[in-house]
Amino acid sequence: MTETTEPTEPVAKRGRPGYDQRGILEVAVAAFNEYGYDATSIGMLAERLGLSKSAIYHHVASKDELLQLALNEALDGLEGVLIEESARTGDAADRLAYVLRGAVRVLVDRLPYVTLLLRVRGNTDVERSALARRRRFDRAVAALVVAARDEGSLRADIDPGIATRLLFGMINSIVEWYRPGGPESADQLADDVLTVALDGLRVDASAKR
Amino acid sequence: MTETTEPTEPVAKRGRPGYDQRGILEVAVAAFNEYGYDATSIGMLAERLGLSKSAIYHHVASKDELLQLALNEALDGLEGVLIEESARTGDAADRLAYVLRGAVRVLVDRLPYVTLLLRVRGNTDVERSALARRRRFDRAVAALVVAARDEGSLRADIDPGIATRLLFGMINSIVEWYRPGGPESADQLADDVLTVALDGLRVDASAKR
């Protein structure tokens, strides 16, 4: 944007002007999601970017590194939520609500990256490492569900493991239909998820609050 | 099973003994889910079944027909729920609960078929036709959500379209982790889904019932 309004401002980019590593990553993630990682080649990315393959290799060592960078983008976001103050102190139920809300926000803000993460099946070392990090995140949330139940905030008649899976089912499904710029903001969507998950859709459930 | 205990009982099967169309379909669906539809060939199925390709073609005309039969299995199940008496008469909220419970049951009973359905992206006529049927089912459930809200049973502060998507997100995610024969029966799982969806996980929400 500043390039248009202030064309003389120096732009800190390596390699061919117009694309930095970030720009290449965005195009790569879109292609991985559209065609699948295996079916996407550096040659296809070069064509989409209007770059030579060697220009791409100036920014990244391999297609594998692009996958790693993309998955990090999703996982760093999710793990970042867990280490925030509000995720670490206070009642478990409040911490759980904070983390679920944060997960929805990361999913919306980093939609293509989380979409890619959710499709990973563990076919390579990079994928297996990403899956391991994703499982650690899930386990941290599951532990919050258990703690919230133990402190008496969450109902005890649903297995915490099942409750956690249903929560993530609801949240992760957002990648299937949410499109940025739609009528629902990330905050509204997070409100909706929290409302359904904690209070349910039934009217007498909301009337008592 | 009866073949072992009563070996002389006549078995009504066409083609080579040991596999009818149903048996071939089961193996095909497992392969489609494991390798993807495109990557699965009739030759691979023949090898898995210990049959010749022509023996398979005795039962089905093409790989496409196997896909069609498999997707029908899932869609017939879901549509079957909609035409049951309890899905068509009574309060909208009760009908909605009945349909959601029925969807969980179909998903659990026909897990590999629904798994396949949820992965369909519309690459062929068979897939597009299946997607259209799936959308009709989703629209029928969305209409129940709207009706339940209009009759005052469901909260009005969540868009019915979003509520429907979150409900299906929760239900459809079951294919990712549910394994038949686990500790949770289909009925229990349906109870859990209904409880979370309608009453929420928070304890004071359940206490008021």
CATH architecture of residue range(s) A12-60: Orthogonal Bundle (1.10)
Contact between chains at A195 and B158 (C-beta distance less than 8 A): yes
Under the banding of pLDDT at 50, 70 and 90, the label for residue A8 is: very low
Question: Domain locations in chain B?
Answer: 14-60, 71-207
**A43: pLDDT strictly greater than 90:** yes
Q: Tens of pLDDT along A158-171?
A: 999 999 999 999 99
- As a CATH number, domain A69-207 is 1.10.357.10
**A7: pLDDT strictly greater than 80:** no
**CA nearest neighbour of B100 among B145, B135, B64, B69:** B145
Cα B209 from Cα A204, distance rounded (Å): 9
Test the A interface: residue of B166, B171, B209 with most A CBs within 10 Å: B166
Q: Would you call B131 an interface residue with chain A, using a CB distance cutoff of 8 Å?
A: no
**Which residue does chain B place closest to A172, by CA atoms?**
B169
User: For every one of its 209 residues, what pLDDT tens digit does chain B have, with 9 covering 90 and above?
Assistant: 334 444 444 444 444 457 889 999 999 999 999 999 999 999 999 999 999 999 999 999 999 999 999 999 999 999 999 999 999 999 999 999 999 999 999 999 999 999 999 999 898 999 999 999 999 999 999 999 999 999 999 999 999 999 999 999 999 999 999 988 888 888 999 999 999 999 999 986 445 44
CA angle A29, A33, A37 (to 5 degrees): 80
Cα B16 from Cα A136, distance rounded (Å): 49
DSSP H helices, chain A, are: 2-5, 21-35, 42-49, 53-59, 63-82, 85-88, 92-109, 111-119, 125-150, 160-172, 174-177, 186-199, 203-207
Q: Are B178 and A178 in contact (CB under 8 A)?
A: no
For residue A177, the chain B residues in CB contact (below 8 A) are: 165
- As a CATH number, domain B71-207 is 1.10.357.10
B154, B174, B197 ranked by CB distance to A203: nearest: B154
- As a CATH number, domain B14-60 is 1.10.10.60
Contact between chains at A199 and B195 (C-beta distance less than 8 A): no
